[in-house]
A = this chain, B = another copy of it.
Amino acid sequence: MTTKAIFYHAGCPVCVAAEQQFATALDPQRYAVEIVHLGESKERLSEAEGYGVKSVPALVIADQPFHINFGASIEQLR
User: Which A residues lie at the B interface, using CB under 8 A?
Assistant: 5, 17-18, 21-22, 25-31, 59, 61-62, 64-70
Contact = CB atoms under 8 A, between A and B. Distances in A.
Interface of A is mostly: strand
A22 B69 contact: no
Nearest to A70: B67
A72 B27 CA distance: 27
B61 A21 contact: yes
Contacts of A25: 5, 26-27, 30-31, 61
A59 B69 CA distance: 10
Contacts of A65: 69
Given A22-B61, A27-B27, A67-B69, 19 more contacts: A5-B25, A17-B64, A18-B66, A21-B62, A21-B64, A21-B66, A22-B59, A22-B66, A25-B27, A25-B30, A25-B31, A25-B61, A27-B28, A27-B29, A65-B69, A66-B68, A67-B68, A67-B70, A68-B68
